[in-house]
Amino acid sequence: EVHLVQSGAEVKLPGESLKISCKGSGYSFTSYWIGWVRQMPGKGLEWMGIIYPVDSDTKYSPSFQGQVTISADKSITTAYLQWNTLEASDTAIYYCACGYLSGRFDYWGQGTLVTVSS
């Protein structure tokens, strides 16, 4: 059974850095792309970017390019989403999902709530 387990909720101050994780199990980690989706409080879904763990080929939404870094370590079947400088507007639930380079996300993590507040 495919599982994507995300790291726990975070509370950070503006200006701090953060790296959240998404660990895949129950499938061949290198068979799927891993994407990240943002959901701001009470809002809809926004696609942020996607990475292919085999070679770390990464594609970003222009809205998030330069704002976050997506990476993956296939040796430990884990993908990451990283911020160097958090802002209050980064407060959201972040979901990872595995799927294809076509928008199809078959399996989703449970979400990581990131709260940025002074």
Report the residue number, 42 or 118, with the smaller CB distance to other proteins.
Answer: 42
Contact 72, 82 (CB under 8 A): no
Choice from 47, 69, 71, 91 touching other proteins (CB under 8 A): 47
Q: Which is nearer to other proteins, 61 or 71 (CB)?
A: 61
Q: Which is nearer to other proteins, 30 or 61 (CB)?
A: 61
- Stretch of 9-17, 71-79, 81-89, 105-113 lying at the interface with other proteins (CB under 8 A): 105-113
In sequence order, what DSSP letters do the residues of 60-114 get, joined into one string? E-TTTBTTBEEEEEGGGTEEEEEESS--GGG-EEEEEEEE-TTS-EEEE---EEE
